[in-house]
Structure 1
Amino acid sequence: MTRRPKNIEGPFLKKFNLISIPILLVAVLATFFLWWRWANQSVINHQPSAASSTFVIKKGESLSSVAFRLQKEGLIKSGAAFKILVVFEKLESQIQAGSFLLKPSLTPKEIAVFLTRGTTDIWLTFPEGWRKEEFARRLTSNLENFDQEGFLDLAKNHEGELFPDTYLIAKDASASAVFHLLQDNFQKKFDEDLTQIASQAGLSQKEVLILSSLVEREAKHDQDRAMVAGIFLKRLKADWPLQVDATMQYALANLRCSQTEDDCDWWLTPTATDKKIDSPYNTYKYKGLPPTPICNPGLASIEATVYPQNSDYWFYLSDASGRMYYAKTVEEHNKNISQYLTR
């Protein structure tokens, strides 16, 4: 009978595995340690005078994106290591959106901490329908040593062109820098297509802005803007006075409030007596458009003006909630006033 040879490989492999697995683990850990140590050093060692660069984190940007861009821009050695570091240090939820002045001589941990508190910018929102003075007031309240009068001087002839939006602005931004930021955004939004469509409708950019500013103040909801714009255009074509309360509010604030006044109510409801004042913005007294926009309209109101809705309506009013009620005749309009405004 043939005898089977002894399996000497089995015990040898078992002994090899028992020895090699720990060695392999040690090698992996050592490699990771060396990589981690390398990755968490600054890109440029011992050079505090290294040039700073501006790094901008967008609102809602993911940690992965931030880490990748930091590595790509030469501010850290490894995006993967930076992600691990941020999660380990529990800093992920604390990283801010904004712009940061960073140096490649900073360590990844220093950069991570800096991103939680070192932004040189601030996010500011300017709602649709604000006057230039309201823009100036918000800027003065939030920026360092902001030149309010300088901003108002720059914006003096540009009511309607300060585009309402959310902006990332340097805390020490100059009046000129902020003004041009708002203007540049306006130019992007009021593009050649809108200008051409307005021209085809027989409206200049200024006329569109004036009408849009009235629409912005009078119609609170998007679904009403095109209808209200259509009513304004019908009244102009028929040589009717526009009779817009918001223009009276603008005129009254010009008389009652100083430009830099902090606690002025720029939009007081006009009384019957107020509607008799002699002002080019009094659209009860004077036909046609007021001389300038009365606020800074958003894109929805601008588009509603160049794409107005045709209707049989000549009158409108809104209740306290902003709901609109339309009428074809003055009798219907007076009935709406009695029903919805005098309750």
Structure 2
Amino acid sequence: MATFNGKAPKHGGSHFGPARNDGAHEVPASSTGAMAPRSALSGGTVSRRTAAATKRASSGKVRRASGTGGGGRVAALAGVLLACAIVAGLVFLVVIPSLNAPQQTEETQTVVPGNQVTITIPEGSAAGDVAQILYDNGIIASKSEFLSQARRMEAESSIMSGAYSITTGSDLADIVTLLTTGPNVKTAQITIPEGYTLSQIASTAEQSLGISAADFTAQAKASNYVADFPFLSDVTNDSLEGYLFPKTYDFSSEAEVTADTVIRAMLSQYQTEVSGIDFTAACAQIQERYGVTVNEDDIITMASIIEREAGGDEHRGDVASVFYNRLQAGMMLQSDATLVYSLGRDVTADDLRMEDPYNTYTNYGLTPTPICSPGLASIQAAAYPNDTSYFYFFLSGDYAAFSETLDEHDQAIANRPQ
């Protein structure tokens, strides 16, 4: 029976060949008209009707009409009637409905001047969207007047996203100028992606919140928080690695944001996220199935390795089973990700032979501490692994292969899409 309480025990096992370094996570063991011609007036031929008319005129029998003939009068009357019909239609279809329709007026409001309001302009917002935000927050009295001012200043496409503190009732030109200069409020938000290390979290805190990365790291000690968060009692190296839960945090309501403020929020979030996991029962099941004794810290350590290796949620349970099966068989985990954590860079084949407590090619068992902050899916996979007989996996893009033997593993690698 192997026991893992922070430090990995040494126990015999098989090391299935050298590491592969092919860029994938692998546990080796990883448009015209024409003018009509004019008739000839002399020397030419005229039609029979033209000749007859000429003869009547010379005999005095042709008189000039003083008006239209009967047919012409009918045509004219029809035209008048048609025009009247059109006008009547327009009156009934256009004029009358418009008179009866409710009149649309510009939406305006009374603005109470002098109030300081903080707004956020989302990225990609159009000028109309900005006008709506300003109006909704009581900063401007008229959206159309704001848009007209923005057009006059040729600033419609120059408004920048971000957070702004604006005084209600300010001159429209001043508001437009501010929105095109850039945000004047520093947001108190920090986003920690899944798989970030403590060092990366500290750096993000410095960039997002202005907290010194060194101060953050110095404060991130389990001994500073174990009294309020008992789940930290089993951690090794006094490290909070793995327990600063990845999430977006907003500290806008805080009068002051310090490293302690952020760390406590992250530990509280961890506690909330894992509240549905019965670690005692999970540890007992793992011991019964795999013959290894683990505690909550070991499960978080395993979850951190799964987080860096699994690639997608659909594979986490199987990746977990591979690692537990290898522990049961006395095999090394052989995860490149653990040494990457220690060295802070990609590893080479030579690196995998070096002595390093985080080198799972030369050390049996789990790493001394978690290697990142895992998300809930990885923690659940570590607590409740799939029940498989896999000892190897190969993940590359959309290609995933899990194998029971080294030969199957090698064949899976050879068959991968090129």
User: So what's the TM-score if we normalise by structure 2?
Assistant: 0.52
RMSD of aligned Cα (Å): 4.4
Show the counterpart of 1:192: 275
Alignment correspondent of 1:293: 370
Q: 1:276 to 1:77 in 2, by over 3 A?
A: closer
Query: Equivalent residue for 2:146?
Result: 85
Mapping of residues 12-91 of structure 1, within 5 Å: 39=110, 42-44=111-113, 52-56=116-120, 75-76=138-139, 78=141, 81-82=142-143, 85-86=146-147, 89=150
* SS of residue in 2 equivalent to 1:151: helix
Distance 1:335 1:71, change over 3 A: closer
Q: CA deviation at 1:139?
A: 4.9
Counterpart CA distance in 2 for 1:111 and 1:299 is 44
Which residue of structure 1 lines up, in the alignment, with residue 214 of structure 2? 149
Q: 369, 379, 388: which is aligned to 1:311?
A: 388
Q: 1:158 aligns with which of 240, 250, 259?
A: 240
The structural deviation recorded for 1:181 is 5.4
Match of 1:232 in 2: 323
Query: CA separation of 1:146/1:108 partners in 2, compared to 1, >3 Å: closer, same or farther?
Result: same
- Distance in 1, Cα, partners of 2:133 & 2:149: 20
Number of residues of Structure 1 aligned to a counterpart in Structure 2: 281
Q: Which amino acid in structure 2 is aligned with residue 102 of structure 1?
A: I
Q: What is aligned with 1:209? A: 300
Name the amino acid aligned to 2:112: V
Could you list the runs of 5+ residues in structure 2 that have no partner in the other structure?
Answer: 1-98, 222-238, 284-293
The within-5 A match list for 1:86-101 is: 86=147, 89=150, 98-101=162-165
What one-letter code is carried by the residue in structure 2 that aligns with 1:89? A
Which structure's CA Rg is the greater one? 2
Does the Cα contact within 8 Å between 2:190 and 2:248 map onto a contact in 1? Answer: yes
Q: Distance in 1 between matches of 2:321 and 2:124?
A: 38
* Letter in structure 2 aligned against 1:232: F
After superposition, the Cα gap between the structure-2 partners of 1:167 and 1:83, relative to the gap in structure 1 and judged at 3 Å, is farther
Counterpart for residue 223 of structure 1: 314
Structure 1 residue 149 displacement after superposition: 0.7
Contact 2:393–2:402 (Cα < 8 Å) also in 1: yes
Give the unaligned 5+ runs of structure 1. Answer: 1-23, 254-265
Query: 1:256: which partner in 2?
Result: none
> Which residue among 122, 129, 132 is the counterpart of 2:195?
129
Contact residue 192 and residue 246 of structure 2 kept, 8 A = yes
Contact (CA 8 Å) 1:208, 1:306: kept in 2 or not? yes
- The Cα shift of 1:214 comes to 0.4
1:315 Cα deviation from its structure 2 partner: 1.3
1:120 and 2:120 correspond: no
- State the Cα distance separating 1:242 from its structure 2 match: 2.3
Change beyond 3 A, Cα 1:304–1:120 = farther
Indicate conservation of the 8 Å contact 2:301/2:370, yes or no.
yes
Higher relative contact order (CA 8 A, sep 6+): 2
Q: CA deviation at 1:228?
A: 0.3
Structure 1 residues 84 and 155: alpha-carbon distance in aligned structure 2, compared to 1, 3 A threshold: farther
Q: Which residue identity is paired with 1:325?
A: A
Aligned to 2:96: none
Give 1:328 shift.
Answer: 0.5
